[in-house]
Amino acid sequence: MTEDNKHSNGKLKLFLTVAMIIVLVLAIAYVFDQGETPSNSSDKTLTKSLDAESTENGASYGNTDNLTKDITESSEAIDPTELNEPNESTMPIINDPLENEFRLITHKKTSLGIMSWDDQISIPDILGDHQTEIVETIGQGGDTFEGSKLKTIEYEGLTVILLSPKDNGKTYYVMRMDITNNLYETYRGIKVGDSFQRLENTYPEIEQVETGDTLQDTYRFTDHSYRYIEFIIVDDLVAFIEIGMELQ
């Protein structure tokens, strides 16, 4: 082999070696590039997903346009004048589960309860026109109620007695209601003329009161404090109903 041939073969081997090295380097670079691409793609997908979720919730964390709009619309929906107009929701609520038990129900389905003040309700609207009205002052012997005023209002089949404390004298609260006909009934629906059996079924809590009267029986329903309902029974029928409060 001549010197020229040997020299040519050496160049060829060097060229092939360099070419193989370049191919190997490119292959390694390609493999690393493919390994990083899914991660970058995943990061972009995650970012896009978070952006979409923020948009669905109304705005991104830095964008308060939608929130401001919602607050503005809510404020515009409220009529300020309505806040000053009395309605059922602004009326005082009596937190007393037994309060209704001591109410009188009229045939017009209006009602009047014990401890109702006449400056907070309209008794004529509830009971209609009265027949007579008497006002008197409690004199000596009235204990702590001496000097207080009593107002007695008479209706057909009904007497309503109201009390005004001695340090007041202007407004009255309902102290007692006496029922003698069937135009009025208790909250549970008992009225004059109902049978004693119906009374017992409706008020199983009633207890007999010993009065010594042999012509009539008296039964009482009470809240075990100061309010009560008394039923007088004559010939197994309700003849009289008294809804009242004990003066203490």
Mean of pLDDT values over 77-81? 38
Q: How far is CA 187 from CA 34, 57, 86, 244, in A?
A: 84, 52, 27, 14
Mean of pLDDT values over 26-45? 54
What's the pLDDT tens digit per position in 139-161? Answer: 876 567 888 999 999 999 999 99
Asked if residue 140 and residue 23 are part of one domain, the reply reads no
Highest mean pLDDT among 3-17, 70-84, 101-115: 101-115
Q: Which two structure tokens, joined as six digits, stand for 115?
A: 């401890």
Counting the structural domains of the chain, the total is 2
Which CATH number does the domain housing residue 215 bear? 2.60.460
The span from the CA of 149 to the CA of 171, in Å, is 10
Residue 7 lies in a domain: yes
Asked if residue 15 and residue 119 are part of one domain, the reply reads no
pLDDT of residue 49: 42
Asked if residue 180 and residue 108 are part of one domain, the reply reads yes
160: Cβ contacts below 8 Å, ≥ 6 apart: 112, 123, 127, 152, 153, 174, 176, 177
Asked if residue 185 and residue 148 are part of one domain, the reply reads yes
Asked if residue 114 and residue 70 are part of one domain, the reply reads no
pLDDT of residue 9: 65
The span from the CA of 180 to the CA of 124, in Å, is 19
What's the pLDDT tens digit per position in 186-197? Answer: 999 999 999 999
The letter for the amino acid at 212 is G
pLDDT of residue 5: 54
What's the pLDDT tens digit per position in 60-72? Answer: 334 444 434 443 3
CA torsion 96→105→224→216, rounded to 10°? 180
DSSP annotation of 98: T
Residue 7 pLDDT exceeds 60: no
Mean of pLDDT values over 84-97? 41
Determine phi and psi for 197, rounding to 5 degrees.
Answer: -65, -45
Determine phi and psi for 207, rounding to 5 degrees.
Answer: -130, 145
pLDDT of residue 98: 84
> How high does pLDDT run on average in the chain?
76
Residue 85 lies in a domain: no
Domain containing 19 equals: 3-76
Q: How many residues does the chain have?
A: 248
pTM of the complete model: 0.61
Asked if residue 186 and residue 106 are part of one domain, the reply reads yes
pLDDT of residue 101: 94
pLDDT of residue 231: 98
pLDDT of residue 62: 41
Residue 82 lies in a domain: no
Of 44, 76, 108, the domain-final residue: 76
Question: Where residue 205 falls among pLDDT bands split at 50, 70, 90?
Answer: very high
Asked if residue 231 and residue 146 are part of one domain, the reply reads yes
pLDDT-wise least confident of 2-6, 164-168, 203-207: 2-6
